[in-house]
């Protein structure tokens, strides 16, 4: 019904009255988004200033924190049963983050992002220069996958079809364009691996490591969960007001 109404309103948008009605339509569906916030009320902490477009295609795990002015953007609604954006348990998404899904974005449990991080899985089509880019639509092929317990430094960016292995650290202002193996530290634009975690010495090293000692993501998650099943998050950082502490 709403889709039919939207189509009719687009035809009316050529007039002032039709344009006003179209704005009213978006106000209505925007108001409906608050019901989804209540769905997560006892499960997650979501800032009042956070924005979600496409609530039906978003899945948030237990004890997830979404901070101020972060935007989760779903471009397509036909995901065939697969959520466009999934964020795992005990993950903290910092201020001013931007997640825009192509096919889908999956962020594993215990993720930590600082301020101004971006996960860009979709971009506007630019094939026709005679069409306003705001009307050309976006691509829907890219998949961004982030493993368990990854840390993203200030202003880091992930673009395109990228997989980031579990236990990895993305340095501040880094731009990730290619797959990153598990337990890596990467920096730069484009991001390059500068260290790997060596399980034999239990240190971050610049030399090659024994890949056979690296636990699988499932094994690693079990290890991380021991004693960390429920983390006391800095929930106050998701508050619109009173977000400072003594």
C-beta separation of 146 from 106 below 8 A: yes
In total, the chain counts a number of residues equal to 246
Quote the mean pLDDT of the chain.
88
Averaged pLDDT for residues 173-186:
98
Write the pLDDT tens digit of every residue in 75-133.
887 656 789 999 999 999 999 999 999 999 999 999 999 999 999 999 888 888 988 88
- The per-residue pLDDT for 94 is 96
In angstroms, the CA 191 to CA 212 distance is 25
What pLDDT, on the 0 to 100 scale, is given for residue 2? 47
At 164, list the tokens. Answer: 């980031």
Contact 13, 19 (CB under 8 A): yes
Binning pLDDT at 50, 70 and 90, where does residue 142 land? very high
Residue 166, pLDDT score? 98
Q: How many CA atoms lie within 13 A of 30 on its CB side?
A: 7
Beta strands 184-187 and 192-198 are: antiparallel
What is the predicted pLDDT for the residue at 74?
Answer: 94
Q: Within the chain, where are the H helices?
A: 2-12, 16-39, 217-225
Flag the least confident range among 12-16, 129-133, 156-160: 12-16
The half-sphere exposure of 62 on its side-chain side, counting CA atoms within 13 A, is: 5
The more confident residue out of 139 and 153 is: 153
Q: What is the pLDDT of residue 229?
A: 74
Q: What is the pLDDT of residues 204-218, one digit of tens each?
A: 999 899 999 999 999
pLDDT for position 144: 98
pLDDT (average), residues 206-234: 91
Q: What pLDDT does 65 receive?
A: 97
| Beta carbons of 189 and 174 less than 8 angstroms apart | yes
Q: Give the pLDDT score at 34.
A: 72
For residues 143 and 179, give the distance between their C-alpha atoms in angstroms, rounded to a whole number. 11
State residue 106 phi and psi, 5-degree precision. -125, 120
> Cα–Cα distance between 10 and 215 in angstroms, integer?
53
Q: Which residues contact 43 (CB under 8 A, 6 or more apart)?
A: 60, 62, 63, 64
Span 45-238 CATH architecture = 3 Solenoid (2.160)
pLDDT at 1: 46
């Amino acid at each position: 019904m709403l889709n039919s109404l939207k189509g009719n309103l687009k035809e009316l948008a050529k007039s002032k009255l039709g344009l006003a009605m179209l704005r009213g339509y978006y106000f209505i569906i925007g108001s409906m988004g608050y019901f989804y916030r209540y769905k997560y009320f006892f499960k997650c902490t979501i800032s009042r200033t956070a924005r979600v477009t496409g609530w039906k295609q978003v899945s948030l795990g237990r004890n997830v924190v979404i901070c101020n002015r972060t935007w989760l953007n779903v471009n397509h609604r036909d995901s065939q049963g697969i959520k466009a954006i999934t964020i795992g348990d005990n993950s903290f998404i910092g201020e001013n983050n931007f997640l825009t899904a192509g096919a889908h974005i999956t962020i594993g449990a215990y993720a930590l992002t600082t301020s101004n991080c971006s996960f860009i899985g979709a971009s506007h089509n630019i094939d026709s220069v005679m069409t306003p880019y705001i009307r050309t639509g976006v691509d829907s092929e890219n998949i961004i996958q982030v493993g368990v317990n990854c840390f993203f430094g200030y202003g880091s960016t992930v673009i395109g079809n990228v997989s980031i292995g579990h236990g990895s650290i993305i340095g501040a202002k880094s731009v990730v364009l290619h797959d990153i193996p598990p337990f890596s530290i990467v920096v730069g634009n484009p991001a390059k691996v500068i260290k790997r975690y060596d399980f034999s010495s239990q240190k971050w090293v610049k030399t090659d490591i024994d890949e056979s000692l690296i636990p699988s993501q499932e094994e690693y998650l079990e290890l991380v969960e021991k004693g960390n099943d429920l983390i006391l998050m800095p929930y106050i950082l998701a508050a619109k007001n009173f977000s400072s502490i003594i």
